[in-house]
Structure 1
Amino acid sequence: MKKLIATVTLGISMLIATSPAFAYTAKSGDTMGSIAKANGMTLQELSKANPQISNLDLIYVGQNINTTKATTTTSTTTGYKQVTPASSSDKDLLARLVEAEAGGEPYAGKVAVAVVVLNRVDSADFPNSIHDVIYQSGQFSPVSNGQINNTPSADSVRAVNEALSENRSLGAGSLFFYNPSTAVSRWLDSRPTTIVIGHHVFKK
């Protein structure tokens, strides 16, 4: 019996140790200032704990907010603590796709496009690397029309760094995106919508 109790206690301890650092999900009307106050933090402390949020005046409903004071350092080059593995060539390729697909879209839309690729890497229904997801036949038009080779903007690079950080909540679960006003095929219309940003509709 003691052995069983010890095993159960160990299991609970492991669950607690591996639980996500995020402790709050943003709701309508929330601001970073109000979240900080509600959790006994200064705005600076909350900002430091959430390096994935580059604009403190812009948070999204459903976005995960870390309300634990930061104890880790972030990259001095990107400003984000990368938690999803990606080589420099993967990040460059993803930034070029983001630029080609969402160059004229809001910054949040750029992040969400990058998240779609990362979600596909994690999905059993798609290839298991950023390169192979992007180059999967018939998936992304910039690959076939050559726009994938264009130089990405600073915003597209930053969006990729953010998507690779803790901020995978933007467009959570999205595996597809399209522009309804220009899409030739509308088969995605029947799939569940996760979020709409700019001209893009994101789908599961």
Structure 2
Amino acid sequence: MKKWFISSALTLGLLASLPLAASANSYTIVKGDTLWSIGERYSVSVLDLQKTNDIEGSLIYPGQVLTLPTAVSAEERDLLSRLVHAEAKGEPYEGKVAVATVVLNRVNSSQFPNTIKEVINQSNAFTPVQNGSINKPADQEAKKAVDEAITFGGQGNGSLFFYNPDTATSDWIFSREVITKIGNHNFAK
């Protein structure tokens, strides 16, 4: 009994000395960390990290414990990567990041559904969903663009739409305010 008590006390002591990063909802900063690297590692945006932890700017320090906001799931990341691959094949990398950002901006907008899956599968929202090309695997560049968009989330120009002005047929889309043009796509509010 005495051995069990000593063993249990040692185990509890070891557990108490572990960094708080062991918690699924927190992370203890170590030397060399940045908000960007933490965001990439945990699939959360820098802005969400700042907002959740009441941080202004980018100053963090080793030993500081951050609360991690809700991350994008592996399933959502894969779906978004496949959409980016299908929608922006042949477009510059920056355009791929912007396409992913449009989806994330829609999730954060009250005008659209609240999840990546619901936004992507919204009726008539994305041609690759309609024609089935979303079912093809994403390439590495699309995956990287999605990772960057997730980490960068909330820091873009608020684009909610994108279209190719040479092939678009909807008069409605031409009424949207164009924020930027990247490759063959216009990005609009």
TM-score, scaled relative to structure 2: 0.64
Match of 2:165 among 174, 180, 185: 180
CA-CA distance at 1:167 after TM superposition: 4.8
Relative to its length, the structure with more helix (as a share) is: 2
Tell me the equivalent position of 1:99.
85
Specify every segment of 5 or more residues in structure 2 that has no aligned partner in the other structure, as ranges: 1-31, 41-55, 63-67
CA distance in 1, matches of 2:88, 2:186: 12
Q: 1:100 to 1:191 in 2, by over 3 A?
A: same
CA contact (8 A) 1:180 1:186 kept: no
Out of 139, 147, 158, which is 1:153 matched to? 139
Please state if 1:197 is matched with 2:182: yes
Trace 1:1-204 onto structure 2 (pairs within 5 A).
Answer: 50-51=36-37, 68=58, 71=61, 85-170=71-156, 172-204=157-189
Question: Does structure 2 conserve the Cα–Cα contact (< 8 Å) formed by 1:84 and 1:165?
Answer: no
CA distance in 2, matches of 1:184, 1:103: 20
SS in 1 for 2:152: coil
Q: CA RMSD in A?
A: 2.6
Equivalent AA in structure 2 for residue 162 of structure 1: E
Superposition misfits of 4+ residues, deviation over 4 angstroms: 48-53, 69-72
Shift in Å, 1:190: 1.7
- The answer to whether the Cα contact below 8 Å between 2:104 and 2:153 also exists between their aligned partners in 1 is no
Q: Percent identity?
A: 49
Residues 121 and 68 of structure 1, relative CA distance in 2, 3 Å threshold: closer
Give the Cα–Cα distance (whole angstroms) in 2 for the partners of residues 157 and 136 of structure 1.
Answer: 22
Deviation at residue 169 of structure 1 after TM alignment? 2.7
Kindly provide the amino acid, as one letter, of the partner of residue 106 in structure 2.
R
Deviation at 1:114, TM superposition (A): 0.5
Normalised by the length of structure 1, the TM-score is: 0.60
CA positional deviation for 1:184: 1.5
Question: What is the rounded CA distance, in whole Å, between the counterparts of 2:136 and 2:109 in structure 1?
Answer: 27
Q: Distance in 2 between matches of 1:135 and 1:49?
A: 31
Q: Unpaired segments of 5 or more residues in structure 1?
A: 1-44, 54-65, 73-81
8 Å CA contact 1:83, 1:165 repeated in 2: no
Q: Secondary structure at the match of 1:165?
A: helix
Which amino acid in the other structure matches residue 186 of structure 1?
D
